[in-house]
Chains A and B, each alone.
Chain A
């Protein structure tokens, strides 16, 4: 199989996987799912790093560095904002007040910074 055909096969199979994984989703989760998928396409960062590292002139380098900045914002921002949304859905044991909710966000923010680089 030629390399072009192999890549196209991967593409076609991934289409079917993509269709299958999200067949039934409650409307409550539509926004976090969109936001999470949005963060995943931030993986274009990998592409941006590849083109930046073999660019030979200042135009190519400038464009690819802009691409790296944009892709990083997309990827990291996307995962952080999705986590913030989903944090709201976690079951709450006690009927806590606003203040304790504010307390909880502090250590959780630390986790995110460690998780996403």
Chain B
């Protein structure tokens, strides 16, 4: 295949990626957009094998074997993952992409170094800078994504991890990366680039540790944009136009998306990212011993039976308990009794923006019943009962009333304005952001303790009996 034909087909793949991102931005075309993206990626991968004289294609069986291994790992992981665990899988996929970009840059650097030594020449400055960028940012994205995975999987604390002198450690780490970059720049050898990779790996961990649970999606999105840019930089090193276009598209659109996400969550991007430098260890509130009103499933059923309008506020706890189907059963039962039912969906309900819509759609909840926050908030004063299922931070009035608390400024669902509030909770444990919720002690609030699915099943049968 001639270089011109190769580049022309590469252009087709690049157009596929642009159409994919455009399609993914609109609900109707989203799925088609994703398929166009997949087609573009398939074209790009297939034609590289026909690169001809530019590519000697040594080690072909090993290359195909490695692709097969990737398929064997990647496809079942993506197909079998529970919808509740999707966000951390996306984080992992992003991380391995960053790792791959870093490795590509390292191999090319070693290769160019050897060639330069043989011919007595030197590697170009721009190529060296692009290589250093890819190694640093790609590795940061790799280890950072693994930490976000651990946080979302709750294999480690979801609270911000802040240690004394953290900002000095991070600053020292950054300085070391800078010095080491200079070393890589001047001495084209294996040791320097490996040390740079190790320092960047540490930075990725330090960068994500101080981020609180609720801000993790923003960080994943940002690391995603970072990985895009590293792909673009390695495209520069390899002089592969397609990699530059694809990587840059992801870098630019990912940056916009990160900003949009931060806006939807009412978070300052700067505050989220540089939390490590400004955060001071907050004192955890003393365990609250104030009385709360807890009720039985029958009490809840009676309350619902005489309501005219009920709003269901689902949270991640609902998904964990796999209670989506039981919720729908309850909603259908109430609708049959002539009660007006709607779901109030917070932009970050679940673990990521849009995550809750996916989970409820899986349970065949009619799309029209899912109401976004801005539309449902004005209706709370006319709502008789709000049922909060496994959610906490998204209804916590502290976001409005307590400056300085981690979620201050985040828009919330105003359930406190409704006539009655029912909380289905496993325990009095605070939500993902780790903050006490005043609403639990409100006289209008009834708590129904227990597993969300078991509690809802009881409420459904009690309501049927009425």
Contacts and interface: CB of A to CB of B under 8 A. Distances in A.
Interface of A: 3-4, 7-8, 10-11, 14-19, 21-56, 59-61, 63-92, 95-98, 101, 109, 112-113, 115-117
A30 B250 contact: no
Interface string B64-78: 001101110111011
Nearest to A73: B74
B162 interface: no
B56 interface: yes
Interface string B44-83: 1110110100011111101100110111011101110101
Nearest to B223: A38
Contacts of A49: 45, 48-49, 63
Interface of B: 13, 17-18, 20-22, 24-27, 30-31, 33-35, 37-42, 44-46, 48-49, 51, 55-60, 62-63, 66-67, 69-71, 73-75, 77-79, 81, 83, 86-87, 89-90, 93-94, 96-97, 99-101, 103-104, 106-108, 110-111, 114, 124, 126, 190, 217, 220-221, 224, 227-228, 231-232, 234-236, 238-257, 260-261, 264, 325, 347-348, 352-355, 357-358, 361-364, 366-367, 372
B71 A72 contact: yes
Nearest to A109: B79
B45 A45 contact: yes
Q: Which residue of A53, A83, A97, A117 has the most chain B CB atoms within 10 A of its CB atom?
A: A53
A77 B353 contact: no
The A contact surface, by secondary structure, is helix
A34 B126 contact: no
A47 B239 CA distance: 10
Contacts of A29: 24-27, 30, 354
Contact of A65 (B66, B87, B250, B363): B66
27 contacts: A7-B236, A8-B236, A14-B245, A22-B24, A34-B352, A36-B33, A38-B250, A39-B34, A39-B37, A40-B40, A40-B249, A41-B224, A43-B17, A43-B247, A46-B243, A66-B103, A67-B99, A67-B107, A70-B103, A74-B74, A76-B70, A78-B90, A79-B41, A84-B86, A85-B86, A89-B361, A117-B45
A78 B354 contact: no
The B contact surface, by secondary structure, is helix
A36 B25 CA distance: 10
Given A40-B249, A51-B107, A53-B57, A73 B34 contact: no
A84 B357 CA distance: 13
A68 B67 contact: yes
B214 to A, nearest CB: 15
Contact of B86 (A10, A41, A81): A81
A36 B56 CA distance: 32
A14 B248 contact: yes
A71 B42 contact: no
Q: Which residue of A23, A44, A101 has the most chain B CB atoms within 10 A of its CB atom?
A: A44
A7 B244 contact: yes
A98 B439 CA distance: 34
A67 B364 contact: no
Contact of B25 (A4, A7, A33): A33
A43 B358 contact: no
